[in-house]
Structure 1
């Protein structure tokens, strides 16, 4: 069994592979590198075979999205640690060393995220993960270094190893035994929020999730499904509600979901006032899909859920009403953040 396997999920991303595979190969001597291809039609597989013959290729039977794409591919990977890496990630020298060391010395640590900076503006944190993720009481995710659309400059303010609530799927390290124990990603999510759901389930099982800043990667972000895509809006709103149904503590479950749906409705109205009609419809579509799926998701609930899952009660209130747009500002006003 390999110690670590870097597994890159690809769908019609030949240009991204051409740009970013060289850094992965150059700086990943400790790992076996795989590309899991979701039935691409752009010649990705032939490109890899001709230009990067040392990379192992896993051919999935269709475009199954992030969740099922990885679940299917990882059945063919035999390694102690999985490094799930987006195809638009540039890695840096020695990026794997601190991750491996943390796993070796901290046996209860199950999932790790590196520091994720913006490939297009390398002095700043990147939207998808930044310096580690948290959620508020109503399931809204945010990060150290990124709250909603506010991105912080990396001045070393988050260069501490710390426990986090969720690790970004853009660059996500997990022990194989934990991945298998949790039965992987929830495939009905297709894409978006599935890594937060997996992390929440891991925490419910008593595992620890860490942020390790001495491992640094750069992420393009939105290369496979751009930020302004209504499908992304739909998946984020729907999957967030489904994640709450699965993982919230029983006490207050229905109140929190009801209040979250009100907040979603406000977001939908905001889209309307901005003329973003497709996004407003995506929120409505997400809620109807949630109604249809929610009973099935209630059956997915486990017997135990951690009670204190959230860092702040409402990141929406703190950001939009109190105008606290930087994580450190919120930390100074809330003493419940683990460091």
Structure 2
């Protein structure tokens, strides 16, 4: 900061969280993130016949599939989360891309939901198996639920490799006090640090992000804030967008078009480095992009202007993507709601006027 007018930090989460089972860590134990980096950089991972992956995120599923395709006879994924379904609460579902979950099961990954590792079985310092136990949720005194071991459900899995994948955090090297106790970079609504308004952060490092789209949004917001900071302009007031229910879209104005799916290799053909999905060609990609409803955005379709029975909608000569070229004359509007009902993407919202 001493040498720059502003700084944007996006280091990601490149450090795995510490892991042990009852204070025990097998010799030469390597976490999923480390192994995935080796797989990408070198194209190899250590060989193992029976693998137990402990965790429930995308890193866990990715390394489980890599180990299976690299020759492991058995790969077990032990996770405290549950599988998608009516019996699993939304906040308890395995945090894995649904397609990856299906493909992992197709490839032979054995899932053990609502379970954890209770004990490592060692021969010397080398792992030869794990003791797994089922979990159930019980209410605590404060009303919140906690996962506890279900006595009597212990069982043994043979294993010659255990791979921990219990989450990642920011590598604190060079960041000092900016990393909080939870291992992330906590920033305010502007994306900057309290007490240091010229330092911004975004992406996975914030701890409350999990998608590429969110990271891109962080970058755009930070760029806007930094631009205003440098040129001294006043912040632009931006009202938060309302969450648009699907029911508020007027589907009568959209052509029904089936989704184009990328082709994928048969399970028997999924080897070490084979690309599973072919992706979409240019034509199919454009077709998929055209299927977007642009929910909550103005499509400049003129429906409100054409259909208003009281001519209360005025159209300016300038066309704007934010709908500002339509002006509502409330001296003539009687609040019939026709414009909102016929708005294809739900851009127009009816708001009850206070008495």
TM-score by length of 2: 0.25
Relative contact order higher in (CA < 8 Å, ≥ 6 apart): 1
Greater helix percent: which structure?
Answer: 1
In terms of Rg, which structure is larger?
Answer: 2
